[in-house]
Amino acid sequence: MRSALILSHRLDACEIHPSIAILADKPDLQPLEELSLDEKAVVANGAHIDDLVPTWFREVLYKPDIHLRKCIEAFQKRPPTWLRVTNQSSRPTPLAKPHPTIPGAWSVTGSPPLSDPHVEIQDIASQSVGLICDPKAGESWWDVCAGSGGKSLHLADLMANKGSIVATDIRESALVELRRRATRAGVRIIKPTPVSPPKEGNFEISPPSEGWRSRGGFDGILVDAPCSGLGTWSRNPDARWRTSADDVRNRAEVQAEILRESAKIVRAGGRLVYSVCTITGLETMDVINAFLHDRKDFALDTPPHWIWPWEGPCDGMFVARMVSR
């Protein structure tokens, strides 16, 4: 256990913490970040780089022949913290670096304390979801699985705080955090609303607010569905050993159900956006292809977007924007 702790710290750390050096009884202990991926694998277990991920990872990864090696390499390095800045004239912290193409996106190392209400911690992949949604001021949106509201807040910002957003989740604690964040940011158009989890055999979801009916449905619905989270393994290296192939399959079934139910109340010409922070085929293209096969009244509005962990670098994300015809 002692050697495993020391090794895991060396594999992930940019600098060796003094307590680790003392534990190893080597004051000159160095991190292993400069080693190649193959060298790290040998140091870790004397084996192959494929052993840095579960054996089933190749089976579920989207196009593993192209992406396997790049994913494993990306998983060995923690991405920077990404910030979303709503006041374009401000710099969030002195050491922050702006993204070259996405306005308001800044990267910083570590977890800086934030007191500016115009700054939100939000991964660049998550920010991309809001940009792909492309909401307009005055529109009505439903964030189906809102959680603590990072994407709801981004939608509100893109809508210039004009219109309405129903943000639902089965976790009341997450919605409490969303209310706090919305108040802090001065956002008035989000309505956090708890919903009951679907019962087995009766998978139906709907927003409690009825205001959308008078408009014939929502202008846009975001389904940021619960997923296996394989795209976040760079930030959560232990998750790769706590996740199974069964988790991937089970999540895909739930995602398909949520997407089908949510699509029922998109207005004609409205947008339905599906996103997951994972990179498996089952939870991404398989879900979308099955949905479009069953719902001929929907079509892809743009080609599906893949955001890979080495891009950014950031979380891995899949986003598909569809339109109701």
Rounded Cα distance between 40 and 36, Å, is 6
Return the pLDDT at 17: 74
| Upper half-sphere CA count for residue 114 (Cβ side, 13 Å) | 21
10-residue mean pLDDT profile of the chain (325 residues): values are 57 67 64 60 61 94 96 93 85 86 91 82 97 97 96 98 95 96 95 83 64 79 97 95 97 95 94 98 98 98 97 97 96
Side-chain-facing half-sphere of 79: CA atoms under 13 Å: 27
In CATH, 124-324 is 3.40.120.10: no
- Please state, in angstroms and rounded to a whole number, the distance separating the CA atoms of residues 260 and 292: 10
At 89 the pLDDT is 67
pTM of the model: 0.86
- CA-only gyration radius of the chain, Å: 21
Secondary structure class of 275 (helix, strand, coil): strand
Q: Is 71 a catalytic residue?
A: no
Out of 133, 145, 277, 314, which one is annotated catalytic? 277
C-alpha pair distances (Å), 31 with each of 17, 21, 40, 50: 10, 10, 11, 21
Domain residue spans of the chain? 1-34, 80-122, 124-324
SS3 168: strand
pLDDT value of residue 104: 92
Give the whole-angstrom CA distance, residue 268 versus residue 146. 23
pLDDT for the residue 262? 93
> Quick one: pLDDT at residue 38?
59
